[in-house]
Structures are given as C-alpha cells and as structure tokens.
Amino acid sequence: MHNSFSKKDFYNELQERFPEVEFLLDEPMKKHTTFRIGGPADIYVEPSISQMVPLITFLKESSVPYIVIGNGSNLLVSDDGIEGVVISFGKSAAEISINQDTAEITVEAGAMLSSVANRAADAGLTGLEFASGIPGSIGGAVYMNAGAYGGEMKDVITTVQILREDGQIETVPVDKLDLSYRHSALMNSSGIVIGATLQLAKGNKDEIKATIDDIRQKRIEKQPLNFPSAGSTFKRPEGYFAGKLIDDSGLRGYTVGGAQVSEKHCGFVVNKSDATASDVLTLMKNVDQIVYEKFGVHLTPEVRIIGRNVN
C-alpha cells in the first residue's frame, strides 16, 4: 500500500479525481452483507461499469488494496472492517439484455440472479430457474459458481467479461474459468467479473414460472430465511452433507454469542441477535472440531471470510 496512506486523504483524493462517483468513508459492512455482520470499510463505492476501469487503474497506481463484492450474500466480514476500498457492483451496473430469438442473455455483474431469472421467465426462456432464489449478483454467482436444485452457473454461462488489473477487458469462454462445485479460477486471480453472457433455451413460460414458484416454496420451507445468514456456511464434504454431519453431532441450535447453528437447517449459521464475526468464527471452528472428532471429516467454509485480522 502506498506509504502515505491515510484513508481520509485518499478519500479526498478520490472525490477530487472522480467527482461523479460517490465514495463513503468508514462505511459499516453490516449494511452490505446478508449476515448483517461486519466492521467498516475504509472507503466504499458502487461504481458503474464505465467508472470501474479508471477507478481500478488509479487504485493500482496508488497501491491501495481493494476488493470487489456483489450482494454480500456469501460474505463474513471481520469486526475490524476492511482495509482500503470495497467496490460493490450494485444497481448502477445491473443491466440485463435479452435476445429472445437466440435465447441469449447479456448481463452486467451487479444484476441480481433473481431479476435475471424473472426476466428470463417473462421472455419464455428456460435454464435459469435453479438460480431464482439465490440472493446473489451475477458477479458473485460466477465467482462462486453458484448452484442449487440440480443446476449451476457453469451450465448456463457461455462467456464472462473480465477486467484485468492492467485495465484490459477480456471476454473469457466458460471452459477457461475452471468452474466446479463452489469454485472458479477467479479465486486465484485478481480478475473482476464485469458481465456475462448466458445461453438459455426456449421454453414454456407457465412451466418456467411454476418451477420458480416451486423452488421458492421449497426454500421458504427448508431455510431459515427469517434470520440474517450467508446461506450454507460450509461446503459439502465429498460423500456427506454438512448439515447432516452437524445435526448428527448434536449441534442443532448450538450457539456462540449471537450466532447459532440454525434450528431449522443445520447447514446454515444464522445471526440470531447482533452476532459478531468473532462469534461466527468461533462457532465455525468449534463445529468443525466437534464434527471431526465424531466423524473424522473436516468442514471447510463456503462463506468467504474477508477483512482485517481474520486470515
């Protein structure tokens, strides 16, 4: 990071250089995560796609660290906050264009999966029903290869537009992204997803909508949607289900501070009452240890743990 980094000075510098962009100083990340947990980002910004390239170039030149997030639905952010700049793709980078003839959808990274799935349904395009209840953005869904109910992003993506650190935008075919269960090559690179093209198929509008409704209903029945969470806390260990291992270890409802293994679905940790990241991390460590002692299987986090003093 550049030697003279003072967040206030850098914030002023950013405002001067990018007068059309709104930067927030010491922005609480609990406002931007579905877990409702997380200390302040030094600087927080929601740029449009066109503002992104000069911004990244400037951050690189200034050697100030940054992280790109989407809807914050798979994040556990440190109580000590995040150093540098948090860039969130939100409403200003969420365009969706549909070509009904070719069944192709082009989306910007900030578009929400639910919006894209609903637009596809309205256009009578099938293939994205699985994603309708995943509360993430396209960027986060590509990065995580999000999936549910037998589908995953890998099945529908054809290309992804990636902004590289040198400011170049590359169109990368899906087979170069190494997408597998909750994994992508992006996890080992600094590439930023700015958009994607999805290939769906023509289908029956009523059937597509019925499938979406059915999946939503299943989620309401099975998932603790009345408490803040980041979805499944742990990945599925090969040959097992994390939730079942946790349940069979007697940990349903296990609580640390304000964090709890959901009573409804043991695969979820929920923020029961003002949980801190430290509560969740202690709970996750203890759960892993108890499950390991009982079954000899380690649980690895699916949630991305970010920020100061957590790694």
Ligand X SMILES: Cc1cc2nc3c(=O)[nH]c(=O)nc-3n(C[C@H](O)[C@H](O)[C@H](O)COP(=O)(O)OP(=O)(O)OC[C@H]3O[C@@H](n4cnc5c(N)ncnc54)[C@H](O)[C@@H]3O)c2cc1C
Q: Is residue 62 flagged as an active site residue? A: no
Should residue 146 be labelled a site residue for ligand X when binding is judged by CB under 6 A? yes
Should residue 134 be labelled a site residue for ligand X when binding is judged by CB under 6 A? yes
Should residue 144 be labelled a site residue for ligand X when binding is judged by CB under 6 A? yes
Q: Is residue 236 flagged as an active site residue? A: no
- Please list, in sequence order, all residues whose beta carbon lies within 8 angstroms of the beta carbon of residue 53, skipping any fewer than 6 positions away: 163, 167, 169
Of these, 229, 249, 260, 271, which contacts ligand X (CB under 6 A)? 229
Query: Minimum distance between the CB of residue 131 and ligand X, rounded to whole angstroms?
Result: 8
**Letter for the amino acid at 260?**
Q
Of these, 23, 66, 89, 254, which contacts ligand X (CB under 6 A)? 89
Residue 10 contacts residue 64 (beta carbons within 8 Å): yes
- Please list, in sequence order, all residues whose beta carbon lies within 8 angstroms of the beta carbon of residue 3, skipping any fewer than 6 positions away: none
Alpha-carbon dihedral 131, 142, 84, 15, rounded to 10 degrees: -80
Should residue 109 be labelled a site residue for ligand X when binding is judged by CB under 6 A? yes
**Letter for the amino acid at 182?**
R
Should residue 266 be labelled a site residue for ligand X when binding is judged by CB under 6 A? no
Should residue 230 be labelled a site residue for ligand X when binding is judged by CB under 6 A? yes
Q: Kindly indicate which of the ranges 22-30, 94-102, 128-136, 290-298 contains the residues binding ligand X, using the contact rule CB under 6 A.
A: 128-136
Query: Minimum distance between the CB of residue 12 and ligand X, rounded to whole angstroms?
Result: 26
Query: Minimum distance between the CB of residue 193 and ligand X, rounded to whole angstroms?
Result: 4
> Would you say 224 or 257 has its CB closer to ligand X?
224
Among 36, 182, 184, 262, the active-site one is: 182
Q: How far is 154 from 151, CA to CA, in rounded Å?
A: 8
Q: Which residue is it, tokens 């989620």?
A: 219
Long-range CB contacts (within 8 A, 24+) of 112-119:
112/71, 112/136, 112/137, 112/138, 113/137, 113/138, 113/141, 113/146, 116/198, 117/212, 118/212
Q: Kindly indicate which of the ranges 9-17, 21-29, 185-193, 272-280 contains the residues binding ligand X, using the contact rule CB under 6 A.
A: 185-193
Should residue 75 be labelled a site residue for ligand X when binding is judged by CB under 6 A? yes
Query: Minimum distance between the CB of residue 107 and ligand X, rounded to whole angstroms?
Result: 11
CA 236 vs CA 70, 205, 232: distances in Å: 23, 33, 9
Should residue 72 be labelled a site residue for ligand X when binding is judged by CB under 6 A? yes
Question: What residues make contact with ligand X under the rule CB under 6 A?
Answer: 34, 67-75, 89, 109, 134-137, 139-141, 143-144, 146-148, 186, 192-193, 223, 225, 229-231, 304
